[in-house]
Structure 1
């Protein structure tokens, strides 16, 4: 389930019931800010869901939203929050460093169609873009845009701003091989805001058929099709964990030159050494091979499928959250 879906559903239920409700949204973030760009909350007088970073800062904004709803103040706010005790202004009350910009939007009955459209798009996995302006204009445009979230202010009047962000999952994980470890990894990654796809080349594979955690699962005729099936991009993550050495080798050769955020291969040290030796013999160079994360996962002496899944998920989180300077 996309992280934001519950926020939109809560807001929609409040609007339909005539209950005041406010959308809190992180429009920008930097450094060690606990609230990242795109984090959201739906706040009503007696309920709320989501998060904009937690702690005293979140508590302040929840109370601010509730106070303004009680006073029927419908003004849209854009507030900077700096997480440093020595900041001369806009201190959040937190000392974790970094900063974030929050939007506080009191939702009105006129927003209901857009809130419903956002929830429906997330439920159905439809691509789209959310737009919000300083005037409180909220809209959803369906269709692929490829643009990241951004907050833009007018050069003539900084108080005039426009925020947009893609709906749904930013990051996508493709698992090549649908066995027991793939099933365990799907269960873990399903909680981490990834769109999940599993491919296998074995028709009727039970662990693929019973996997309830993924958004797509398909049986390929051959892993030779992977270069065409797996999209490229900075938010594309791939884990290779097929049935054996030969299929692993085919999958790696199909994807090694793909532009991906992460390409990991599961296997024993002996198998990996043999596979890498074969790639070198066929002319693959070290810069290409260094793009492959293998042995896969953080070294926590994992043995069971569930333990391996946790180690792989942790490595993917580390790659996703690492500064660009740390990327391979």
Structure 2
């Protein structure tokens, strides 16, 4: 939902009601995971997607209906063997959608959550999907404050406690409660959707390859920072809007920057005086991905220098060098695609092989929080 929130916030601020459909559960080979969203606003403007096109027409009508009636709906779509042309998922999967009307008057929690996400602060949006509690009721849970109600104080308290735990993990999914908040599997279903701050992409070396990598990083949802010690290259005009550009020695900047298990580090300087001190710092951070540009000869020289600086084999094994997947890339844009492909494959446990050469599920479960 994060990618459509700016549009939803604009409708919300203008007092325009809209229908919001959110994937709350999936089965088998569903094309989109929990949290994927589609909304229908004024003049039937549509943003987002819940299935990649399979059921969007039906969801459009549902979204318009809930705005007219003011009542949320819970609907499941799947592939029907008896009528392959019926509304359903031709991939053979199944998705359950919560479709609810949203207005500024009835949903103060939505506005609080959207504002919090826009400020890159953590929040969980907890929404009643099913059961005796009011369907569509919403609670915005931040680390220190809560807005809204799910209809009962005990339920609010239990969901708030769980939501803050889920926020620490970046988790999203359905949870079940009794009417007063006790944990049960057969009563109130609440969808908890975590919005952790976007992960960071740190690009070192302000060259043309860095500009292309910064653009694709922003496209993938990363908060991008480009760092170079040379002011003539670290010019914000050379990089996409929204990218932070820093003039500093790379290793010094990284030493003073917070990283976590979702951070990706792209070292594109291929100059030993920059990249060896930088990688010495980077390989001792919890970053999810550390890639470095350069030839195989450069890589071997780099490894020797890093060993001389005291790094062990386990630390060196984290280094993706030469950076990217083997796509035959030549141009900065093609190299950026190869880097992005390697990052996505690592994040989801992909093989990097053509899908036509693999078997089994296409959409893999997330290997861990993130």
TM band (smaller chain): 0.7 to 0.9
Match of 1:67 in 2: 65
Match of 1:37 in 2: 34
- 1:110 Cα deviation (Å)? 2.3
In the superposition, the TM-score normalised over structure 2's length comes to 0.73
Unaligned 5+ segments in structure 2 are 145-166, 178-182, 350-363
Match of 1:272 in 2: 299
CA RMSD of aligned residues (A): 3.2
CA contact (8 A) 2:24 2:174 kept: yes
CA contact (8 A) 1:176 1:239 kept: yes
Q: How do 1:1-328 residues align onto structure 2 when only pairs under 5 Å count? A: 3-9=3-9, 11-12=11-12, 16-17=15-16, 20-29=17-26, 32-44=29-41, 46-70=44-68, 72=69, 74-82=70-78, 85=80, 93-111=88-106, 113-134=108-129, 135=134, 136-143=136-143, 145-148=167-170, 149-154=172-177, 155-156=183-184, 158-167=186-195, 169-208=197-236, 210-221=238-249, 223-233=251-261, 235-242=262-269, 244-281=271-308, 284-322=311-349, 323=364
Instruction: From the superposition, tell whether residues 157 and 8 of structure 1 become closer, same or farther in structure 2 (CA, over 3 Å).
Output: same
Instruction: From the superposition, tell whether residues 278 and 109 of structure 1 become closer, same or farther in structure 2 (CA, over 3 Å).
Output: closer
In the superposition, the TM-score normalised over structure 1's length comes to 0.81
- 1:240 Cα deviation (Å)? 1.2
- 1:211 Cα deviation (Å)? 2.0
- 1:2 Cα deviation (Å)? 5.1
Unaligned 5+ segments in structure 1 are none
CA offsets 1:37-84 (integer angstroms, 9 cap, x no match): 2211211462221111232323222222223444x1x333334444x5
Instruction: Please give the alpha-carbon distance, in whole angstroms, between the structure 2 residues aligned to 1:77 and 1:159.
Output: 17
CA offsets 1:72-122 (integer angstroms, 9 cap, x no match): 1x333334444x5569xxx97223244433211122442454443344334
Equivalent residue pairs, number: 317
Instruction: Please give the alpha-carbon distance, in whole angstroms, between the structure 2 residues aligned to 1:138 and 1:49.
Output: 21
Name the SS of the counterpart of 2:287 in structure 1. Answer: coil
- 1:248 Cα deviation (Å)? 1.0
Name the SS of the counterpart of 1:146 in structure 2. Answer: helix
- 1:176 Cα deviation (Å)? 2.1
Instruction: Please give the alpha-carbon distance, in whole angstroms, between the structure 2 residues aligned to 1:76 and 1:186.
Output: 40
- 1:10 Cα deviation (Å)? 5.4
Name the SS of the counterpart of 1:182 in structure 2. Answer: helix
Instruction: Please give the alpha-carbon distance, in whole angstroms, between the structure 1 residues aligned to 2:174 and 2:320.
Output: 34
Instruction: From the superposition, tell whether residues 195 and 204 of structure 1 become closer, same or farther in structure 2 (CA, over 3 Å).
Output: same
Name the SS of the counterpart of 1:178 in structure 2. Answer: coil
CA offsets 1:209-229 (integer angstroms, 9 cap, x no match): 542334433223451442441
Instruction: Please give the alpha-carbon distance, in whole angstroms, between the structure 2 residues aligned to 1:312 and 1:172.
Output: 15
Name the SS of the counterpart of 1:125 in structure 2. Answer: coil
Instruction: From the superposition, tell whether residues 255 and 206 of structure 1 become closer, same or farther in structure 2 (CA, over 3 Å).
Output: closer
Instruction: From the superposition, tell whether residues 304 and 172 of structure 1 become closer, same or farther in structure 2 (CA, over 3 Å).
Output: same
Instruction: From the superposition, tell whether residues 276 and 301 of structure 1 become closer, same or farther in structure 2 (CA, over 3 Å).
Output: same
Instruction: From the superposition, tell whether residues 309 and 59 of structure 1 become closer, same or farther in structure 2 (CA, over 3 Å).
Output: same
Instruction: Please give the alpha-carbon distance, in whole angstroms, between the structure 2 residues aligned to 1:257 and 1:28.
Output: 38
CA contact (8 A) 2:348 2:367 kept: no
- 1:27 Cα deviation (Å)? 2.5
Name the SS of the counterpart of 2:105 in structure 1. Answer: helix
CA contact (8 A) 2:201 2:264 kept: yes
CA contact (8 A) 2:128 2:190 kept: yes
Name the SS of the counterpart of 1:37 in structure 2. Answer: coil
